[in-house]
Structure 1
């Protein structure tokens, strides 16, 4: 059974290298494009774990390659205070992230070993207080089957579960109806989605399962919280200058929200904690709180 008082937040999914390219202007096909290139830790699940670790005991569960890059990425998690439980084998994945001058990004993922996650050992989950699953873990087999088995086992044991819709491209390929069925089955404490993902899932026309909330992020516009009863909450995002790089902002939001929820704060205050955490990554390359990346 999970430790509902002091057990860790467990985040299950990808750990990869992000190759972040800050473009100086609109990309020009077939020729050189002036840019700045950064290499940093990536993967939505690993990002959430790193952002949450200073706030709450945190464990990452996933798979990386049996290679020096995998070694380095696992070391970065552990240096950041994350209890990293990883399977090893194959080749560590990478994601090329093109960041446009307006802060928007375009991603080219190669998940490598992350997609080969096998069955998760029971001991890695037994003491979990909360399990968070970004949808990227469901994008390929055998990772999808292993992740779903872990989530179902955690939920049946009384562990709180949260889901992140993660990507419109994923939702289209996976199937919106199929993902809604998963939401209905798992009954997550919270589902995170941005406005585009919420539109693909048709969340505007649906109520969450009993006990769940949908948290819909709208960039600089108010975050909308849809509950199983009552009117939606609309919580403004604190004003700030335009973002230079939105990579990892959603993961930082999830980390701030989940840490606050685990501390007993209500939904509105958890959203505010998410806003505060997300704002800290918007001027850094990749999913980082500062420019100190290698």
Structure 2
């Protein structure tokens, strides 16, 4: 069982029809979808192995709708219900790059989880967003201790440069030094901010450093470095969810006992399936 703890929110994905013109109308393609980094990872992983999502949504119709959509994708969904469900407006430019405006809502208030939600969990994945607020951070740490005590693995995604800056980069580095996750995922900007590329991870930790279409670098606790090329794709129209799909592919391969290089290749393959669709989806615009 793979469990993913964190956000389940609504994504409002905006593809402007041209350059954005301030203070007037801007025609656009707009799609609403289930989102949130943790929910995305769970959704992509559920097609490959038993997967559970742990999080919090509002006591509102949107929360009910998002829980149902995630469950329909095969995920075992365990959520707390209170407050309002979060939303993220994502503006995607012509090169596929995203600018995000999050209101995390109830996701930021994840409280202590029922112990039975972690029954059978052998790998727990926690995006950095889950550490951003005190309630969800305390819950994440409790879940990590429980899974570790049962002999399971723990992985973390650095998630966002803005989040890391707000959290404090040195504070984050110290937290990761204490937690020693089995895998720490980061993209190139996050890795630069945290100064990961030139470092040797703590014993037992792998850094998995993604860099878009450029090779992924894996660094283990001995300092050994491995680069895994990214196969070319026709077009990256929307990179939303690509990192989450990569994490899902990597984690499922890791849980199957495959090597880090094979896990990265599996991550690249799954990430490539979302690049032509709005948001964290494989459904292209018709």
TM-score (norm 1): 0.95
Moved over 2 A (4+): none
CA distance in 2, matches of 1:63, 1:49: 14
SS of residue in 2 equivalent to 1:258: helix
SS of residue in 2 equivalent to 1:205: coil
| Contact 2:58/2:84 (<8 A) preserved | yes
Q: 1:92-143: per-residue Cα shift (whole Å, max 9, x none)? A: 0000000111100000000011011110111101320100000011112311
Quote the residue 1:216 is aligned against: 209
Gaps of 5+ in 2: none
CA distance in 1, matches of 2:187, 2:20: 25
| Contact 1:213/1:226 (<8 A) preserved | yes
Quote the residue 2:41 is aligned against: 48
- Work out whether 1:268 is the aligned partner of 2:261: yes
Quote the residue 2:284 is aligned against: 291
In the superposition, relative to structure 1, how do residues 171 and 230 fare at CA in structure 2: closer, same or farther (>3 Å)? closer
| Contact 2:278/2:285 (<8 A) preserved | no
- Work out whether 1:71 is the aligned partner of 2:72: no
TM-score (norm 2): 0.97
Quote the residue 1:201 is aligned against: 194
Offset at residue 230 of structure 1 (A) = 4.6
Offset at residue 250 of structure 1 (A) = 0.2
Quote the residue 2:248 is aligned against: 255
SS of residue in 1 equivalent to 2:263: helix
Q: How many residues align?
A: 286
In the superposition, relative to structure 1, how do residues 46 and 143 fare at CA in structure 2: closer, same or farther (>3 Å)? same
CA distance in 2, matches of 1:143, 1:231: 34
When the two chains are superposed, the root-mean-square deviation of aligned CA atoms in Å is: 1.2
SS of residue in 1 equivalent to 2:11: strand
Quote the residue 1:145 is aligned against: 138
